[in-house]
Every structure is written in C-alpha cells, then in structure tokens.
Structure 1
Amino acid sequence: MKTKKLIQEVGFKIQKSGFFLALLLLLQVTASAQTQMTSETPKPKKTIVLITGAFISNSGWNEWKSYYESKGYNVIAPAWPNKEGSVDYLRTSQHDHLIANLTLNEVVEYHAKIIDSLPEKPILIGHSFGGLIVQLLMQQDKGSVGIAYHSVPPKGVLTTKFSFIRSLWGPLGLFKSNKKTYLMSYSEWQYAFTNGMEESEQKAYYDKLVIPESRNVLWGALKKSGKVDFKKAHAPLLFVSGSTDNIIPAVLNKKTYKRYKKHQAEGSVTEYKEFKGRNHLAMSQPNWQEEADFILEWALKNEKQTKEQYLASKQ
C-alpha cells in the first residue's frame, strides 16, 4: 500500500511539473511572438518638409523629393496657398487675384498647420523665400532642424551688392500696385536664377517653373512679418549659399548667419556652408545631389546631437 501510494504521489508530481513546464513553454512562445511582432512593426518614417520659395512652382523640388524618398524618408513639398496646379494654369488671369492677395503671415501659418499634423517635428529645408519661412517656423519651434538654402534674409538684414538690388527691383515694384501679381520676365530669370547655365536650360526651366507671385509676400520680408528674434533659442539651423547666386548673394547669407551667431542663445547651433559655382537655382544644377547629401547628413548629425543633449539634461 505504501509503495502504491508513493507511485501515485510521484506520478502526480510529474503531471504537475509537466503542467508547469508546458505553461512556461507557452509563456516563452508568447513572449517571443510579441518580440518578433514589435521588431517587425515599421517605425514611422522621418518626414522632410521641402518649402518652396517665391516665383517658382513647388515642382522645382521634384528631384529632391524623389531622391530623399528613395532613402526611406517621407517627403512633403507643398505648394503655397492658391498656387496648386500646373504652371500654365497658374499663369492664367483667373487665378491672379487669389495669389496677389496672399501675405507672408498666411504662407507661414499654412506651413505651420501642415507640420502640426505630423507625428513629430520634421526636418525643414527651404529654398530662397522658403528659407526665410524656415527661419520663421524655427522661431515657433516647428522643426527638429532647419536648413535655409539660398535664403531670403529676415527683416533688417540687407546688402548693397548690385546683383541683389538689380534682381529685386522689378519684383518689388516700388511704383507698382500690390493688387496685381508679378511674373518674372525671361531676361530677369536668366540674371537672377539661372546665370551660368546654357540658354536652352534657362528657357526650359523658365517654362517649367516660373509662376506669378504676390508682391505682398515679397514686401512682408521687409516688415514685421519677416522679423526674427536672433536671441531666441532655436533648433540647429544651417545656412547654405552659392558663390554665383545673384539674387541672394553668398555675402547676404553669411551676413544673416553672422547675425544669428552674434546673438546666439546658449545651446543653439547655427552653421554656414558655401558651395562654389552654384547659382540661385542650385537645386536643379547638375551637381545638386552633392548639396542634398550634405544637407541631409548635417541634419541627421545635428538632430541626433540635440536629442542626446536633451536626454542628458533630464538625467
């Protein structure tokens, strides 16, 4: 009887241990499956917002957009308000008053709303007037990093360089009505944007990109709407210029950069890079990928450093 009872007890213990082993195995399999699901769940793609400048269609970013997308980024290159559509459509008179009434504040707010809809702060890259918009958005802490590419300066930063004055004399229209749009002429385009290019390229890009512009937006850069607080802390900001840019000469970009550096808040990063032989339409010159790569590498490096500094400050 004792032997039989002992056998029964041993059997029960084996069954009991088997149950716990099975339970343990089940838990391990479940945990492994959850880990695998987590590792296979794709992280949201980092977003790059490409901000267009004045005078041209947002299609000017098409090559950059495709290039960054091929590297795995979510890329947005929105048209300005009332500038959606083809170049031919926007050049028709029926759209004129909508563009003419546009203001700088409206354009900045429009981009801010797009950014606010994103899951995280994006990388901001703005060309020409888009570079000023980047600076104004950085004042609102809208970007993880910002790149002002051949950027229009903020209020109070100017140059007396002849090419700058000549390029903007027509667009600003000192004696013209702001109730009508301004369409850059082909000869103005050749001097201000595409100097140094073959004439066939100059004409092709003129037909492909140039659209009517609001003089109200242009004048906004010279008013309160274009003002930047250089003392305000900001995310990393890079100024990129071109040595042969007529409308926004390198000396003007450097002047803006130096204004930031002079008043820079502790912890803020502001840097400057000049590329030789680049005109104002550098985004479409044959070696544009060199600049696109430099800008992206700079953005990722400084974004990472900023995050590390933030985490260190919280410890």
Structure 2
Amino acid sequence: MSKPHVLFIHGLWIHSSAWAPWAALFAERGYTSSAPGWPGDRDTVAETRDDPSGMNDVGIEAICRHYADLIEAMPEKPFVVGHSFGGLIAQELLANNYVVGAVAIDPAPIKGVTKLPFSQLRSGLPVLGNPANRSRTVALTAKQFHYSFGNAITEEESDALFEQWTIPGPGRPLFEDATANFSRTSPAAVDTHVADRGPLLLTSGTEDHTVPLTVTRAVVELYASGPSVTDFHEFPGKGHSLTMDAGWREVAEVCLDWMSSKGF
C-alpha cells in the first residue's frame, strides 16, 4: 500500500510555514506533504503580518470549504494532521469523508464540550473580550503568546517562536467555537458517530493553556460510543507550542508511529 499524501493544517495565530520541519521529517519517512494556509493567509509570515485583511470575517465553514476544495483537486484522498483549530478542521474533514485518516493535535473543542477551564478562557480573551473582533483579524502580543502557547517552555524560546511564526488570526472562529453549544447549526459541530470514517488520533499536552487536557478528554468521550477507531495520546509537560518548540520531533514521531500502526 502506498503512503498517502499528508496535509498539514495550522491553527489560529500560526503561519503554515511552521510545518516545515514536520514536512522534512515526513519526507524522510517516505511521505509527500503540503501545508496550505487558511483562506486569506499570504505566502510568508511577513506578508501576512503586513496585510492580514484577507482573513477578516473568515470562519470555520469557510476554512473547511477551503481545504475541502483543495482535497477535491487531489488525485487521491490525503491523510490530515492538524494543530489547534487545524485539529478541529481535521475532524470535520474526516467525518465528511474527505481524508483517509487524521491526527488532531491539541484540537480546538468541538460542539458538545462543556468544560471551560480558566486558562482556556484567559487564552481566548484577547479576541473574545471585544465583540468587534468577530469580523476582523487580531494579533497576539508576545506576553499573550507566552501564556497561551509557550507556558511550558522558557520565555526566551517562547519569544523566539513568537517572532518566527505568529501572524494575526481571524476572530470569527473563536466566537463560533465559544458559542457552539448555543447554536443548533454550529460550524464547530462534528459527527462523532460516523461508522465508515478512517482512524483518528487525538492528542493533548498536559500543560496546554489554550486547549487544556480536560477539554481534549471531553472530546475523546464524545467519540467513545462511536463505532470508528479513535485513539488518544497524552504528552506530559507539553503546552500548546508542542508542534513547533524544541520538542516538536517527539510529537511528530508519535504521530508517525501511530500512522504506521494504522497502515498508513
């Protein structure tokens, strides 16, 4: 069986180029891959920072449609690896049969999760604290990034990641996710009981402030009674920066080993 193409999907506030080390490692293991940005992202971090207006009012549905369109143009269904909001998008794509399997790393919560730890609320406040942010892009400060992403690493490393990879992000997905349980037709809803989907790996860093461990465990519980394969992996001592900080390779190796165990 040939290895599937791997599609990497970034999360809020991070540019797609942050996946470059992952792409190189996956290439060593025989995978082709791509990491297209969200609709409105520009080609580089600098260009996106200079003009993030293309992401104004871009929500979860538009992001999902963007990746679905890209996948429909591919010769075969890919495998998807998503981080944070990219992990939510990965689950949407899997549930709707666009991909053969998925890894969701510290994924943004889907509809049905009722837990709201203080650290998650605080991480979202830079956007959710102002209703006007729903229709515009918002940038984090280095201090906000350190709390939300880099709390498990040194401030020096966090600041370096902030300078290297962060971009403004659309506020709308956060508002949609925060109100998902109050909407009958939320774009953050995922069918967790699809019988014929590919396997899914959900992961969580135990120190994650943006998507705390209890939140991801709640997502795992939503899948628990479903008929398809859903696995869970916990990364002790890791925060939300786990896909791009100095320990990224350990996370990537776990994903690769799991993919191999599932025949990919």
Q: Does 1:120 align with 2:76?
A: yes
Q: Deviations over 1:196-221 (max 9, x none)?
A: 32222111111111111111122233
Quote the residue 1:261 is aligned against: 224
User: In structure 1, what residue type is equivalent to 2:212?
Assistant: P
Quote the residue 2:134 is aligned against: 178
User: In structure 1, what residue type is equivalent to 2:94?
Assistant: M
3-state DSSP of counterpart to 1:283: coil
> What percent of counterpart residues are identical?
29
Out of 43, 59, 76, which is 1:85 matched to? 43
Q: Distance in 2 between matches of 1:45 and 1:177?
A: 41
Report how far residue 44 of structure 1 moved.
6.4
Contact 1:123 1:299 in 2 (8 A): no
Quote the residue 1:66 is aligned against: 24
Out of 97, 102, 110, which is 2:58 matched to? 102
User: In structure 1, what residue type is equivalent to 2:198?
Assistant: A
Q: Deviations over 1:225-264 (max 9, x none)?
A: 11112222221111011011111111111110111113x0
Aligned residues: 257
Q: Pick closer, same or farther for the CA change 1:49–1:174 going to 2, 3 Å.
A: same
Q: Distance in 1 between matches of 2:47 and 2:248?
A: 28
Q: Does 1:230 align with 2:192?
A: yes
Give the TM-score taking structure 1 as reference length: 0.77
More displaced, 193-202 or 46-55? Answer: 193-202
Quote the residue 2:147 is aligned against: 191
The structure with the larger Rg is 1
3-state DSSP of counterpart to 1:271: strand
Q: Distance in 2 between matches of 1:141 and 1:192?
A: 32
Contact 1:236 1:303 in 2 (8 A): no
Contact 1:260 1:270 in 2 (8 A): yes
Q: Does 1:157 align with 2:117?
A: no
Higher RCO (C-alpha 8 Å, min separation 6): 2
Quote the residue 2:160 is aligned against: 204
Quote the residue 1:285 is aligned against: 245
Report how far residue 121 of structure 1 moved.
2.0
User: In structure 2, what residue type is equivalent to 1:154?
Assistant: I
Report how far residue 168 of structure 1 moved.
1.0
Report how far residue 285 of structure 1 moved.
2.8
User: In structure 2, what residue type is equivalent to 1:294?
Assistant: V
Report how far residue 179 of structure 1 moved.
3.1
Q: Does 1:168 align with 2:131?
A: no
Root-mean-square deviation (CA), in Å?
1.7
Contact 2:52 2:168 in 1 (8 A): yes
Q: Deviations over 1:275-307 (max 9, x none)?
A: 111110101233322221221121232246xxx
Quote the residue 1:47 is aligned against: 5
Out of 284, 298, 308, which is 2:258 matched to? 298
Consecutive unaligned residues of structure 2, counting only runs of 5 or more, are 181-185
Q: Distance in 2 between matches of 1:131 and 1:288?
A: 16
Contact 1:56 1:209 in 2 (8 A): yes
